[in-house]
Amino acid sequence: MYAIVKTGGKQYKAEKADLLIVDKLEGEPGTKIELDTVVMVCDGENVTLGSPFVKGAKVTMEIVRQGKAKKIDGFNYKAKKNERKRWGHRQPQTHVRITDVVAGK
């Protein structure tokens, strides 16, 4: 059984015991989180779609660690003006382990 869950403006396939890397969620490692923004649940041959979410469905997950993604380096310049600017960004992210997927109605 798996579910498609929405968090951080993105959708992820969540199956029991999977490790997902999602946009930052608040909490310390070991914290349990329940998401009820389940878009779809598939239980073998039965597929339940939500409009927009499946009622009663939820995904339980545990935070494994908080971290950052790889650094993105950028460089802006304007030709013939001697304007140059280097910048970098590391997106904060959370590693979560799916502990349970509950199908709704």
Residues 22 and 91 sit within 8 Å (Cβ to Cβ): no
For 57, the token pair is: 């469905």
Cis ω for the linkage preceding 52 (within 30 of 0): yes
Among residues 79, 65, 75, which one has the least CA distance to residue 30?
A: 65
Share of the chain above pLDDT 70, in %: 99
Find the domain containing 79 and state its range.
2-102
Out of 48-52, 62-66, 73-77, 79-83, pick the least confident.
48-52
pLDDT of residue 104: 74
C-alpha distances in Å from residue 92, one per residue of 23, 24, 66, 78: 7, 6, 8, 30
Q: Specify the pLDDT at position 76.
A: 97
* C-beta separation of 94 from 66 below 8 A: yes
- Counted domains in the chain: 1
The structure tokens listed for 47 are 């597929």
Q: Mind listing the pLDDT tens digit for each residue in 10-43?
A: 999 999 999 999 999 999 999 999 999 999 999 8
Given a contact cutoff of 8 angstroms between Cβ atoms, the answer to whether 78 and 33 are in contact is no
